[in-house]
Amino acid sequence: MINQDQITLAQATDPWGNPVASDEESSLLMQQDSSVLDPWGQSSSEPIPPQDSVATAGSWLDGIEQAPEVQNTLAEPFAAPWFDMRAIINDFVAVVVRQTRDFFDITKQPVEWVLDFFAWLLSSGLHPLIFILLFALLCWQLSGWKLAIGAVVGLVFLGAMNVWDEAMITLALVLSALFFCLIIGIPLGILMSKSDRFAGFLRPVLDAMQTTPAFVYLVPVVMLFGIGRIPGVIVTIIFSVPPLIRLTNLGIRQVPDDLVEASRSFGASARQILWRVQLPLATPTIMAGVNQALMLSLSMVVIASMIAVPGLGLMVLRGIGRLDVGLATVGGLAIVILAILLDRMTQSLGREARERGTRHWYQTGPIGWSLSLLQTLKSK
C-alpha cells in the first residue's frame, strides 16, 4: 500500500488516504481545518516556503537517496548503508498498519468520546466567566484563596489575549489525557506493587518509555493512529503515564510493613488492606504522580501540535514557522499560565493534610466555609 518512494510530506499528513478532518474530527476543534492539515502553509508570503515547495522539501528529506553512489571501503566503512533499514521499517509498518487498522480504530473510540466531552464542556458547555468562577473555587478548595486569585487573573488574561478557545482546546486535550492516565496508570501501579514479577516486567518498559524523547514518540503513533487531535491525546497518554505508574507503585510499597502486618493480624483481606490502608497512605505519593502526569501531558500536547493537534501548541508552532515571535510568545505565555495553575492545584493535593493545618478536605475552602455557615444557621 505504501511505497517508500511515494512518501512525501503531503502523504505523511494522511498516509491512509482517509479524509481525516471531516470524518474523525469534530467540527468544533477543527474550525481551522486547513491550517491543521498543513500548519505550515498559510500563504505564499510566509518566510518558509509553503505547500508548493513540498517537492523541494521532499527532495531535501530524501537527500540520502539522491546522493551519488558511494562504495564502502576499509578507510570509510560507513560511507554507504550496509542494508536499507528505512525500507525494511517502511515495509514492516505497511504490513502492521494494514493488519492492525481496525484494532487501533477501536482504541481511538473511547479517547474520542472523552475528548469530545471535555471539548464540549470547556468550549460551549460553560460560559467563560462561569468557567473562571468554578476554576477559582476549585483552586480555593484544593489550595487556597491565593491560588484562586491567581487563577482569576491568569484566566482573564488568557481571554484578554484572545487565546481563550485555543487554551480551552489544550485544556480539554490535557484533561482527556489525564483521565486516561488515571484509569490506566493507577491500576497498573497497584498491580506493579502487588506483584514483583509484573514489576520486573513493567519496569524496563517504563524505562524505555521515559528515555524515549518526546519527539520520537510521534513516529509510532502517527503510523498506527494517524494524525490529528485523537492521536495527539494518545501520544500524550503514553508519554505522561509512566511517572504515575511508578509513583503509585512506590507509594504503595512505601506504606510501612508493620501497618500492613497489623491489618492482616486483625483479619483484613488483601482488598481491605489496599483500600483502607495502602491507598489512603499512598495518596500523597500518587498525587505527586498525578501532578507529574499532568505536567508531562501539557508539554506533550504542545509537542504533539506537530501531528496536527490543535490548541496553544499549534499557535507556538505556527509562530515559529512564520517567525512571528509575537504569536509564538502569546501561545507560550498561555501555556505557562495553564501549567502554573494546574501545577499549583495538583501539588497541593499531594501535600499531607496536616501541613495544611486541617485533617479533612471538607473543612477548608468554599465547602468548609459553606458547611460552617450552614451549621451556624442551623444552630440559630
Partner 1 sequence: MTVKLEVQSLYKVFGDRPKQALAMLAEGLTKEDVFQKTGQNVGVKDACLSINKGEIFVIMGLSGSGKSTLVRLLNRLIEPSAGKVLLDGEDISAMSDNQLRELRLKRISMVFQSFALMPHLNVMENVCFGLSLAGMPQDQQVQKASAALAQVGLAEHGNSYPDELSGGMQQRVGLARALAIDPEVLLMDEAFSALDPLIRAGMQDELLQLQAQKQRTIVFISHDLDEAMRIGDRIAIMQGGEVVQVGTPEDILHKPANDYVRSFFRGVNLAQVYSAKDIAKKPSTLIVRKHPKMGVATAINQLQENDREFGYVITPDRQWLGLVSLSSLVKADQKDQTLDSALLADAATLGADEPISEIIGSVATSAFALPVVDAKQQFIGVVSKTALLQSLDGDTSS
Stretch that binds partner 1, among 235-243, 275-283, 288-296, 310-318 (CB under 8 A): 275-283
Rounded Cα–Cα distance for residues 248 and 191 (Å): 10
Smallest gap from residue 368 Cβ to partner 1 (A): 17
Cα separation values, 188 from 76, 111, 196, 242, 340, Å:
49, 19, 12, 10, 28
Q: Closer to partner 1 at the Cβ: 354 or 378?
A: 354
Q: Closer to partner 1 at the Cβ: 2 or 282?
A: 282
Site string for partner 1, 344-363 (x = CB under 8 A): ----------x----x----
Residue choice 48, 280, 370, 373 for contact with partner 1 (CB under 8 A): 280
Smallest gap from residue 229 Cβ to partner 1 (A): 40
Q: How many binding residues for partner 1 (CB under 8 A)?
A: 19
Task: State yes or no: residue 211 binds partner 1 (CB under 8 A).
Answer: no
For 261-333, strand residue ranges (E) read none
Q: Closer to partner 1 at the Cβ: 122 or 255?
A: 255
Smallest gap from residue 252 Cβ to partner 1 (A): 14
Rounded Cα–Cα distance for residues 360 and 337 (Å): 29
The alpha carbon of 53 is separated from its chain's Cα centroid by a whole number of angstroms, namely 32
Instruction: Take residue 276 and report the three cell numbers written for it.
Output: 483502607
Task: State yes or no: residue 271 binds partner 1 (CB under 8 A).
Answer: no
Helix axes 128-142, 325-350, angle to 10 degrees: 40
Helix axes 214-225, 229-253, angle to 10 degrees: 120
The DSSP secondary structure of 68-115, one letter per residue, reads PP----SSSTTSS-SS-HHHHHHHHHHHHHHHHHHHHHHHHHHHHHHH
CA neighbours within 13 Å on the CB side: how many for 374? Answer: 7
Q: Closer to partner 1 at the Cβ: 240 or 248?
A: 248
Q: Closer to partner 1 at the Cβ: 170 or 278?
A: 278
Rounded Cα–Cα distance for residues 164 and 205 (Å): 38
Residue choice 89, 268, 320, 340 for contact with partner 1 (CB under 8 A): 268
Residue choice 4, 254, 272, 299 for contact with partner 1 (CB under 8 A): 272
Looking at residues 295 to 354 of the shown chain, list those that interact with partner 1 (rule: CB under 8 A): 354
Task: State yes or no: residue 3 binds partner 1 (CB under 8 A).
Answer: no
Rounded Cα–Cα distance for residues 44 and 40 (Å): 10
Smallest gap from residue 283 Cβ to partner 1 (A): 8
Helix axes 85-120, 164-194, angle to 10 degrees: 110
Task: State yes or no: residue 101 binds partner 1 (CB under 8 A).
Answer: no
Rounded Cα–Cα distance for residues 86 and 247 (Å): 37
Rounded Cα–Cα distance for residues 30 and 21 (Å): 7
Please report where in the chains the cell 479524509 appears, as a residue: 19
Task: State yes or no: residue 275 binds partner 1 (CB under 8 A).
Answer: no
Instruction: Take residue 8 and report the three cell numbers written for it.
Output: 512525501
Task: State yes or no: residue 109 binds partner 1 (CB under 8 A).
Answer: no
Task: State yes or no: residue 254 binds partner 1 (CB under 8 A).
Answer: no
Q: Closer to partner 1 at the Cβ: 284 or 310?
A: 284
Smallest gap from residue 360 Cβ to partner 1 (A): 11
Task: State yes or no: residue 102 binds partner 1 (CB under 8 A).
Answer: no
The alpha carbon of 70 is separated from its chain's Cα centroid by a whole number of angstroms, namely 44
Q: Closer to partner 1 at the Cβ: 69 or 257?
A: 257
Smallest gap from residue 281 Cβ to partner 1 (A): 6
Q: Closer to partner 1 at the Cβ: 63 or 267?
A: 267
Residue choice 56, 195, 269, 370 for contact with partner 1 (CB under 8 A): 269
Contact residues: partner 1, CB under 8 A: 256, 258-259, 261-269, 272, 276-277, 280-281, 354, 359
